[in-house]
Amino acid sequence: MKKILMVNPQLCTGCRICELVCSLSRDGECNPLKSCIRVLKLAEEGIDIPGVCQQCETPLCADVCPVDAISRDLDTGALIIREEICVGCRACSMVCPYGAITMDISKRIMIKCDLCGGDPKCVKFCLTKALIYDRPEVVDALRQESALRSLVRPLLKSREKATPTKEKKK
Amino acid sequence: MQVVIIGNGVAGNSVCSAIREVNQRARITLVSEELYPAYSACVLGEYLGGEIQRGRVFLKRIKDYRQQGIRILLGRRAIKIDVKNRKVYLEKKKILYDKLIVASGAESLIPAVDGTTREGVFSFKSLRDADRILAYRARRVVVVGSGPIGVEVSCALRRRNREVYLVELLDWVLPQVLDQKPALRVQRILEGHGIKVVTGEKVEKITGNYRVRGILTNKREIGCEMVVMAGGMRPKVSLAREAGAELGELGGIKVDRRMQTNLSGVYACGDCAEAPDPVSGETALIMLWHNARRQGMVAGYNCAGVRKEYPGSTNVVNVNVFEVPVFSIGSPVSALAGGGIEVIEKDRPHYYGRVVVADGKIRGAQFIGETEDMGVLLPAVRKRCGLENVKKIVDSPELLSLAPWYHKIKKYLT
Ligand SMILES: Cc1cc2nc3c(=O)[nH]c(=O)nc-3n(C[C@H](O)[C@H](O)[C@H](O)COP(=O)(O)OP(=O)(O)OC[C@H]3O[C@@H](n4cnc5c(N)ncnc54)[C@H](O)[C@@H]3O)c2cc1C
């Protein structure tokens, strides 16, 4: 099975190094606007959420593309936008359920994560392991754990008042 | 196995790709009355407006068909299907099939008004139409119908410095796609670029002797050298109907979730087909590129013996109005019957957004200017999710961290 890229917002500190290395490796420029991964900061809630393409199994972006510029890379499983074909119509970005496709304003073409050909730079440089690139079964296990953790968190919080905290970071 | 596909659009070509993915040996013949290898109708507007070169509309070259092992017959029209003997008749030829796929697409709806056969009257469906419009000398153009195609043609011809009138029968532009308020905003953009928009007027006649001289509406006369009829599309079904294919209520060829018609060994897909929609329980005819493509894939897999079901069509329309993106998903208020309709509206100088809720369920959304995050709403509209459920996700940090992308639509829902 191919590896997949997973985001764990609970571990993200919002340092945004992923945005910088992404744009740097793609375009030779540290410019978050040219990054395919974007960290969303929810100031009030105090959460940071990296958003990146999930390489859907049945991708609507590829279906709406009027010029067939989006196709699957058979080695990595990533959905790739071919620059020379893209006409920058934005259709893909409008239907992406994750908001993970954006326009490179200077080139007027759409950009999205291509998993760096199987060696995603954002993952490499992520200091807190909020980004994981691994086999689906590993990622699934992590996802499950993190889901359960966040569901029981309110419960733990309510107990916190009674007993000192036992929650530890793994 | 001998597969014959009628139609060289996105549906027909997706059938080819799907079959080839699972079966290298099937003999595939693709018939098209058009002369060109596959191209994208969706970017014809960009070509007409001079934003992209003609060559970029093509999706395949002749040699790509050869590489896929597909026999392609261009410029050949299928005129009859003999279901009993499994034969398709072309003008001077007949082809035997085991499986037949009808992907004959759609055709422009030409209203029954006087003068539509005059020289200078065009429709805008094919590459040939675009070429002919470009080659025709005209200073002033009237575009009849302001659906997405009418709006695209108007923008394109305006970019080419033609004087453009856009005439709409109903009360506002993009009437099937937008409600009145966002439509007025689009109209202002069009007018800001010099297009003269006329709504609520019916074209009654195209005047002129041999060539177009103008049009008459119920209220006025507009002189022009060219008329582009953009009053809508309808599924092209005559060939299949004559062979005994059952049609649906909406006028498309009726198919099941595997894209099979009522005729044995005959499938239909793309703009000509009317497929069941598991969400509404009814059939739907949403003639859009992505639906045609998915239906083609499903038809291809099934005819190659791999069972797949069509999940239903998605209604997403995007129109680029002079670099301002206009986006609509699901139904506008005007298309929803009954009460219990609520509109959540955001009217800002740089963008406009509205989410349409009916009986507590998210049913549609329309956005102008800022559209990149709207895809997040798409699954909600498709599945008719309850507004309260979606709000619950966006309001809870715990749930949000599991589905973080929902945050992007929070500001539109409150
Ligand atoms: C100007 C324009 C802009 C559009 N923009 C968009 C957009 O932005 N987004 C979007 O989603 N959709 C858009 N659409 C709609 C989209 O293009 C269609 O949904 C899609 O092309 C349908 O594909 P199809 O394969 O079903 O049919 P078609 O593309 O219509 O192909 C039908 C094929 O059948 C052939 N054929 C028909 N009858 C016969 C016969 N008897 N014998 C032989 N061959 C036959 C024709 O030659 C043709 O090759 C647009 C359409 C137009 C016209």
Q: Which stretches of chain A sit within 8 Å of chain B by CB?
A: 7, 9-10, 40, 42, 45, 47, 49, 51, 60, 63-64, 66-68, 85, 87, 89-91, 93-103, 147, 150-151, 153-154
- Average of per-residue pLDDT across B147-168: 98
- Average of per-residue pLDDT across B377-406: 85
**Is residue B131 domain-shared with residue B101, that is, in the same domain?**
no
- Average of per-residue pLDDT across A161-169: 55
Burial class (CB in 10 A: 0-12, 13-18, 19+), B334: middle
- In this prediction, what percent of chain B has a pLDDT beyond 70? 100
- In this prediction, what percent of chain B has a pLDDT beyond 90? 87
Q: What percent of chain A is helix, strand and coil (3-state, nearest 5)?
A: 35, 20, 45
- Average of per-residue pLDDT across B29-54: 96
pLDDT at A162: 65
**Is residue B328 domain-shared with residue B359, that is, in the same domain?**
yes
The model's pLDDT over B171-214, given as tens digits with 9 standing for 90+, comes to 999 999 999 999 999 999 999 999 999 999 999 999 999 999 99
**Is residue B276 domain-shared with residue B299, that is, in the same domain?**
yes
Domain for residue B218, yes or no?
yes
Q: How far is A64 from chain B (nearest CA, A)?
A: 5
B159 lines ligand 1 (CB under 6 A): no
The model's pLDDT over A56-88, given as tens digits with 9 standing for 90+, comes to 988 999 999 999 999 999 999 999 999 999 999
Chain B residues with CB-CB distance to A36 below 8 A: none
Domains of chain B: total: 3
**Is residue B87 domain-shared with residue B132, that is, in the same domain?**
no
Domain for residue B308, yes or no?
no
**Is residue B11 domain-shared with residue B101, that is, in the same domain?**
yes
Please name which of B228, B178, B166, B205 lies closest in space to residue B343, comparing C-alpha atoms. B178
**Is residue B66 domain-shared with residue B94, that is, in the same domain?**
yes
Residue B27 phi, psi dihedral angles, 5° rounding: -90, 120
Three-class DSSP labels, chain B: CEEEEECCCHHHHHHHHHHHHHCCCCEEEEEECCCCCCECHHHHHHHHCCCCCHHHHECCCHHHHHHCCEEEEECCCEEEEECCCCEEEECCEEEECCEEEECCCEEECCCCCECCCCECEEECCCHHHHHHHHHCCCCEEEEECCCHHHHHHHHHHHHCCCEEEEEECCCCCCCCCCCHHHHHHHHHHHHHCCCEEEECCCEEEEECCCECCEEEECCCEEECCEEEECCCEEECCHHHHHCCCCECCCCCEECCCCCECCCCCEEECHHHEEEECCCCCCEECCCCHHHHHHHHHHHHHHHCCCCCCCCCCCCEEEEEECCEEEEEEECCHHHCCCCCEEEEEEECCCCEEEEEEECCEEEEEEEECCCCCHHHHHHHHHCCCEHHHHHHHHHCHHHHHHCHHHHHHHHHHC
**Is residue B18 domain-shared with residue B33, that is, in the same domain?**
yes
Q: For residues B159 and B238, what is the distance between their CA atoms, to the nearest angstrom?
A: 37
Which of B229, B256, B290 delimits the end of a domain? B229
Band of the pLDDT at B276, cuts 50, 70, 90?
Answer: very high
**Is residue B159 domain-shared with residue B210, that is, in the same domain?**
yes
**Is residue B102 domain-shared with residue B240, that is, in the same domain?**
yes
pLDDT at A170: 43
> Where is pLDDT greater, at A58 or B236?
B236
Domain for residue B315, yes or no?
no
Domain for residue B319, yes or no?
no
Q: For residues B380 and B383, what is the distance between their CA atoms, to the nearest angstrom?
A: 5
Residue span of the structural domain in which B156 resides: 110-229
Residue B43, chain A, CB below 8 Å: the answer is yes
Task: Please give the single-letter amino acid code of residue B250.
Answer: L
Q: For the ranges B230-239, B343-352, B394-403, which has the lowest average pLDDT? A: B394-403
Q: What are the sequence ranges of the domains in chain A? A: 4-133, 135-170
Q: Give the ipTM of the model, two decimals please.
A: 0.84
Q: Is a pLDDT exceeding 60 seen at residue A169?
A: no
Task: Quote the pTM value.
Answer: 0.92
Domain for residue B310, yes or no?
no
**Is residue B210 domain-shared with residue B245, that is, in the same domain?**
no
> What CATH number does the domain containing B172 carry?
3.50.50.60
pLDDT at A1: 67
B104 lines ligand 1 (CB under 6 A): yes
What is the distance in A from the centroid of ligand 1 to the CA of A79?
A: 25
Task: Please give the single-letter amino acid code of residue B84.
Answer: K
- Average of per-residue pLDDT across B332-355: 91
> What CATH number does the domain containing B356 carry?
3.30.390.30
- Average of per-residue pLDDT across A116-120: 94
Band of the pLDDT at A163, cuts 50, 70, 90?
Answer: low
Residue B290, chain A, CB below 8 Å: the answer is yes
Contact B42 A51 (CB under 8 A): no
Q: What is the pLDDT of chain B when averaged over all its residues?
A: 95
Please name which of B229, B321, B289 lies closest in space to residue B45, comparing C-alpha atoms. B321
Contact B46 A87 (CB under 8 A): yes
Q: For residues A125 and A22, what is the distance between their CA atoms, to the nearest angstrom?
A: 10
**Is residue B138 domain-shared with residue B186, that is, in the same domain?**
yes
Contact A47 B379 (CB under 8 A): no
Residue from B155, B288, B329 to probe ligand 1 pocket by mutation (most atoms less than 8 Å from CB):
B288
Q: Is a pLDDT exceeding 60 seen at residue A164?
A: no
- Average of per-residue pLDDT across A51-58: 92
**Fold classification of A4-133 (topology level):** Alpha-Beta Plaits (3.30.70)
The model's pLDDT over B203-228, given as tens digits with 9 standing for 90+, comes to 999 999 999 999 999 999 999 999 99
- Average of per-residue pLDDT across B16-24: 96
**Is residue B193 domain-shared with residue B339, that is, in the same domain?**
no
Which of B229, B261, B277 delimits the end of a domain? B229
pLDDT at A147: 78
Domain for residue B311, yes or no?
no
Kindly give the pairing relationship between strand B203-207 and strand B352-358.
unpaired
Domain for residue B287, yes or no?
yes
Domain for residue B318, yes or no?
no
What is the distance in A from the centroid of ligand 1 to the CA of B271?
A: 7
